[in-house]
Amino acid sequence: MKLISWNVNGLRACLNKGFLDFFHTTAPDILCLQETKLQPHQIELELPGYHQYWNSAEKKGYSGTALFSRVEPQSVTYGLGIPQHDTEGRVITAEYEDFFLVCCYTPNTQQELARLPYRMEWEDAFRGYLQELDRRKPVILCGDLNVAHQEIDLKNPKTNRRSAGFTDEERGKLTALLESGFVDSFRYLYPDVTGAYTWWSYFRRARATNAGWRIDYFILSDRLKDRIADSKILSDVMGSDHCPVELDLREAP
């Protein structure tokens, strides 16, 4: 099974930069998108053979997630079920026969860490949500989690120590999630690979020089790790300031 996650930084813009060519060429079983920046019915995508699910922010042109799946999920829910966290279209959960798939666009801490207190509340609520799902069946979490976990996950860790996405607080929350029974699929397979990034600033030729951050993930319940066939970063795919990430999952034994 091939699963792909991509922060498209505005789907309408990405459609003009080769999105459909990428989609049809890769032909994923499931595609999750973040930062769609769409309200309901602003576009109508014709994707024969796929079931489409959308979660939009109340604020126009902001945030938003989508999930396209060949197999119709048993159920689909939107948000965390917590009103204060569910106005920005950040989470879609699809239940399949042997796992939950959670597509997430984690809130950015923003300049001067203005949203760090809210981010900490979100992280605790989201971890609790994932743990509750995990008690029912294994979980696959994907998306833009807006944090580079370790120094190996960004080009310039020393100068970004208190930057949004690399604070001790944000990194600690991801550590807490992993320690509660989850695994970062890319680092599970490639613990020492350097220069593996998924986001690059539009400034200072960051992508051309690979001055990036790895902030897009596939994170799985520990009991799924033996099913990880590969975890890829598709860094040659353009169309956004993020590149897609891919999880190749073996079928259940």
The answer to whether 144 is annotated as binding is: yes
How far is it, in rounded angstroms, from Cα 85 to Cα 253? 37
Q: Work out whether strand 199-200 and strand 75-78 pair parallel, antiparallel, or are unpaired.
A: unpaired
What is the pLDDT, as a whole number, of residue 41?
86
What is the pLDDT, as a whole number, of residue 253?
82
What is the pLDDT, as a whole number, of residue 252?
86
What is the pLDDT, as a whole number, of residue 122?
98
What is the pLDDT, as a whole number, of residue 57?
97
DSSP-based three-state secondary structure for 81? coil
* pLDDT by residue, tens only, the chain of 253 residues: 999 999 999 999 999 999 999 999 999 999 999 999 999 889 999 999 999 999 999 999 999 999 999 999 999 999 999 999 999 999 999 999 999 999 999 999 999 999 999 999 999 999 999 999 999 999 999 999 999 999 999 999 999 999 999 999 999 999 999 999 999 999 999 999 999 999 999 998 999 999 999 999 999 999 999 999 999 999 999 999 999 999 999 998 8
The DSSP letter of residue 242 is B
What is the pTM for the complete model shown?
A: 0.97
Q: Return the active site residues.
A: 105, 144, 242
How far is it, in rounded angstroms, from Cα 227 to Cα 225? 5
DSSP-based three-state secondary structure for 75? strand
The answer to whether 153 is annotated as binding is: no
Instruction: For residue 96, report the phi and psi dihedrals to the nearest 5 degrees.
Output: -115, 180
The answer to whether 35 is annotated as binding is: yes
At what angle are helices 168-179 and 116-136 packed, to 10 degrees? 10
What is the pLDDT, as a whole number, of residue 40?
86
The answer to whether 41 is annotated as binding is: no
What is the pLDDT, as a whole number, of residue 229?
98
The answer to whether 9 is annotated as binding is: no
